[in-house]
Amino acid sequence: MNTSDDTVVEGAVDPGRLYEERDFNRIIEIKAREAYRVGLFMGMIDQREKTIVFCATQLHALAVRDLINQMKTSKDPNYCVRVTANDGARGDQYLREFQDNEKTIPTILTTSQKLSTGVDARNIRNIVLMRPIGSMIEFKQIVGRGTRIYDGKDYFTIYDFVKAHHFFSDPEWDGEPEEVTAPKPGVIAGPSPEPMELVAREGPEPPPAKIVVKLADGKVRTIQSMVQTTFWDPSGTPMTAIEFLESLFGALPEFFKTEEDLRAIWSVPDTRKALLAGLTDKGFGANALSEMQRVIDAENSDIFDVLAYVAFALDPLTRVKRAADARGQVHLRYTDRQQAFIDFVLDHYTKEGVGELDGDKLAPLLKLRYKNAISDALADLGSPEQIRGLFIGFQRYLYQPSGLPATS
């Protein structure tokens, strides 16, 4: 509450109004308050550990980034960076470097909404909440950023400055805390007092590397047992990978009936986009499908391979393999200059994924390939309509059955 001995530096406040947590860094800002909080968690964490800080707005994330960099012990200028929707390609690059477990810089990311889902950084050790959380689903998604397993990582820590855990206690999801009984030598911990012989072992039996799931079509799918992830149904209920696999398998016939249908839909940017939108509406969004790539050991494959594997038990192909197969067809059908542009697009596809084949990526790819000289692109590739036809047309060769003989 604003009182007579407070100083308003800029703007106006409502006399006597009680400002709540959700108002801070949106309609009211107290810089000393933020500096105190940053100093508090910076003094508590191991500053070498990867950390995500969730802030109220993009401007708040910028301010917190600057405070962290003022208080850090590291001398690297990119120790803490901001990754938000406004940070564009640079933010995406920071995120990729943060996710690389072999790299230590950047060490801390500040964000507002962008990183609550879809961040596969297994070595995150700290999550800092400096903004209220709007829903149970969002809270669980944010917590999920820290649950990825990594060598030597037995736990992660949440620094909750907004008391989010008070509002989102969910005993069914959390489970009841287990009573721990300290074992005595030669006696098993628990209710049985019977003495037991201790047997030296090398360690616990490792779990199987893969889990085999038999679906309703009678075919089996395998998933990685060592990949820890949580999926969510549309109501916000957590699902295991097996439950998600079964649910996706049951939903896909609504969108395509045969393997040929899927290949035809996926080969055209507009119908591919419509399919992904429909799947998102059913609770199978892009982030969940990307998670499924890891679960089926297809991280270097296409989202097409996730759908084809779940629906028809087709073995995934890597994007590199798909591009190589497509080049064999492309080099029979297009001019040298057209081939050069398609090769350029395929290089981006293999590195970044199917998103590089979206219709709205054509203009940026042309500018990148021709260094903003669109007149050169028109001279090499033809009219805008011809270029768009070229960009869409070659994609069918990425998704035709592997091993199809090349014909001129």
Same domain, 230 and 256: yes
Domain-embedded: residue 326: yes
Same domain, 257 and 133: no
Same domain, 39 and 160: yes
Domain-embedded: residue 345: yes
Same domain, 260 and 332: no
Domain-embedded: residue 177: no
Residue 260 burial (10 A CB sphere; 0-12, 13-18, 19+): exposed
Same domain, 87 and 224: no
Q: Which range of residues forms the domain containing residue 300?
A: 210-312
Same domain, 159 and 214: no
With contact defined as beta carbons under 8 Å apart, do 30 and 24 qualify?
A: yes
Same domain, 152 and 119: yes
Residue 12 burial (10 A CB sphere; 0-12, 13-18, 19+): exposed
Chain position carrying tokens 């049951």: 250
Domain-embedded: residue 18: no
The whole model's pTM is what? 0.51
What CATH number does residue 128 fall under? 3.40.50.300
Domain-embedded: residue 200: no
pLDDT score, position 14? 53
How would you write the pLDDT of the chain (408 residues) with one tens digit per residue? 344 444 444 444 455 544 455 555 444 456 777 888 888 888 888 888 888 888 888 888 888 888 888 888 888 888 999 888 777 888 888 888 888 878 888 888 888 766 544 556 677 888 888 887 766 666 777 776 666 666 666 677 888 887 776 656 666 655 565 555 544 443 333 343 333 333 333 444 444 455 666 666 677 677 665 444 566 766 666 777 888 888 899 999 999 999 999 999 999 999 999 999 999 988 888 888 888 888 888 889 999 999 999 999 999 999 999 999 999 999 999 999 999 999 999 999 999 899 999 999 999 999 999 988 889 999 999 999 999 999 999 999 999 987 655 444
d(CA 127, CA 116): 11
Same domain, 356 and 270: no
pLDDT score, position 190? 39
Structural domains counted in the chain: 3
Same domain, 167 and 32: yes
pLDDT score, position 299? 86
Same domain, 246 and 379: no
